[in-house]
Amino acid sequence: MKITVAGAGYVGLVTSACLAELGHLVTCIDIQKEKIDMLQSGRSPIYEPGLESMLEKNLSSGQLHFTMNPHHAYSDAEIIFIAVGTPEKHDGSVDLKYIHVVSNLIAYYIENDVIVCTKSTVPVGTNELIQAIIDSRKPPNLQVEVVANPEFLREGSAVLDFFHGDRIVIGTDHHKVASILEQLYLPLKIPILKTDIRSAEMIKYASNAFLATKISFINEMSNFCEKVGANIEEVTFGLGYDKRIGHDFLKAGIGFGGSCFPKDTKALLHLGGHINHPFDLLEAVINVNNRQQSLPVLKAKETIGSLKNKKVALLGLAFKPNTDDVRNAASLTIVKELLEEGAVVTAYDPLAIPNARRILGNTIEYADDIRAALRDAHLAIIATEWEQIKYVPLDVYQNHMRDPIVIDGRNCYPLHEIQKYPITYLSIGRPDVNNARQKKGWE
């Protein structure tokens, strides 16, 4: 089919490359010239495992095109996917300005009947709004059907998730349109769920809110474990054996970041305010997450006192491993708090330094390798569990730092290993190692 994807971000690019891989003729449109230039020359502006090779292959076979020209993109498309950003406003609500822009362009440029699928995460009712915008401006002889088709791709494994996702949600009341989309997705052999539009929109928010709740729940439990002398890893292992709970998505740490959970939980809370439905549980999930992101600096102050002029090695900037994305990353909170305390920060990340530098500028130093970051540091904070970080031999901390103190926000190291080294080690929800100042609330 002739498919157009609006937005060459994390979601739009992966969707474009994967649909081309399935044999469709895909045009991806974006407003950023620099991005389109890069993509046309076969380079990906983002890091996503498996993406660049798929882009190259489909670009050279002619299955995939990139453009900034809305006439080329929309005039003869059979299906248009909307994957532009839906960022957060100051009050936590969703900014739909890009959705408005794209809906208007679609209405203006289409020359055929078309199905418009919304991949972007949008509040309930938005697809009806898109339908209304397009209907009010399109040529009267053309038929446009807007479908809620949320994405569930995780950064760092988005290509894998496209081909092996848990489900595909198609939200429309139009049976013929639903069956066209079903045919499109059939080769993936992923369960397809057909719903009404509003339920499809809510499935996305409910999924992200539930996953965020799981993380805040386990983080709250991990803080409890610290106080009672238990080990959160043992607890989650035992918890996960219950089939009703499961082992997945229960890793304690310094909270969730990224472009989805922080934004979507706030958006749902905000929407609750509008419909007179205070979402107390979600408010607690957000508060726990904010507190969790502040834990490393709190622990640092408790352990070494003043951080003024202390050299801190921050290991990991990305909000999770295998991505260069730093949106809402815990690392950004950590940097802000360290700088407020007067610390001197050197950060290492295998991929995310360019994106972090755009936000943090020269307020911190950046190291090309982990040893350079650790050299003469008073303290190391692990913020992302990259393989390049979690497999660093422990004697590297011992040999490069002054008097090694490591605050591991992602529980990268087994406690029995750490115990072999003269390293003061604090992690999340597990007993401290070699910490003379450890507070034992349970004694």
Q: Which residues bind ligand UDX (CB under 6 A)?
A: 6-12, 30-32, 35, 83-86, 98, 101-102, 120-121, 151-155, 208, 211, 215, 249-251, 253, 256-261, 319-320
Reduce the DSSP state of residue 15 to 3 states and report it: helix
Indicate the residue among 80 and 211 with the shorter CB distance to ligand UDX. 211
Indicate the residue among 30 and 220 with the shorter CB distance to ligand UDX. 30
- Maximum pairwise Cα distance, the chain: 77
Q: Which residues contact 173 (CB under 8 A, 6 or more apart)?
A: 196, 197
Buried b (16+ CB within 10 A) or exposed e, 210-243: ebbbbbbbbbbbbbebbeeebbbbebbeebeeee
Rounded CA-CA distance 136/139 in Å is 9
What minimum distance in Å lies between the beta carbon of 321 and ligand UDX? Answer: 8
Rounded CA-CA distance 415/408 in Å is 11
Rounded CA-CA distance 179/208 in Å is 27
DSSP per residue over 232-269, as a string? HHHHHHHHHTSTTT-STT---SS---SSSHHHHHHHHH
What minimum distance in Å lies between the beta carbon of 310 and ligand UDX? Answer: 26
What minimum distance in Å lies between the beta carbon of 406 and ligand UDX? Answer: 19
Contact 56, 50 (CB under 8 A): no
Which is the catalytic residue, given 28, 117, 260, 412?
260
Contact 25, 184 (CB under 8 A): no
* Distances in whole angstroms, Cα of residue 107 to Cα of each of 41, 66, 140, 142, 345: 30, 20, 10, 10, 50
Indicate the residue among 195 and 434 with the shorter CB distance to ligand UDX. 195
Measured CA angle at 385 (ends 245, 53), to 5 deg: 100
Find the radius of gyration of the CA atoms of the chain: 24
Indicate the residue among 101 and 245 with the shorter CB distance to ligand UDX. 101
Rounded CA-CA distance 334/296 in Å is 7
Contact 3, 81 (CB under 8 A): yes
Q: Which residues contact 421 (CB under 8 A, 6 or more apart)?
A: 394, 395, 397, 398, 404
Indicate the residue among 85 and 404 with the shorter CB distance to ligand UDX. 85
What minimum distance in Å lies between the beta carbon of 152 and ligand UDX? Answer: 4
Rounded CA-CA distance 59/17 in Å is 9
Indicate the residue among 39 and 401 with the shorter CB distance to ligand UDX. 39
DSSP H or E segment with residue 144: strand 144-148
Rounded CA-CA distance 349/355 in Å is 11
Rounded CA-CA distance 163/175 in Å is 24
What minimum distance in Å lies between the beta carbon of 218 and ligand UDX? Answer: 7
What minimum distance in Å lies between the beta carbon of 410 and ligand UDX? Answer: 8
Indicate the residue among 300 and 329 with the shorter CB distance to ligand UDX. 329
> Which residue's beta carbon is nearest to the bound ligand UDX?
9
What minimum distance in Å lies between the beta carbon of 402 and ligand UDX? Answer: 29
What minimum distance in Å lies between the beta carbon of 260 and ligand UDX? Answer: 3
Helices (H), strands (E): how many in the chain? Answer: 19, 14
Contact 429, 231 (CB under 8 A): yes
Indicate the residue among 7 and 429 with the shorter CB distance to ligand UDX. 7
260 catalytic, yes or no? yes
- Residues labelled catalytic: 260
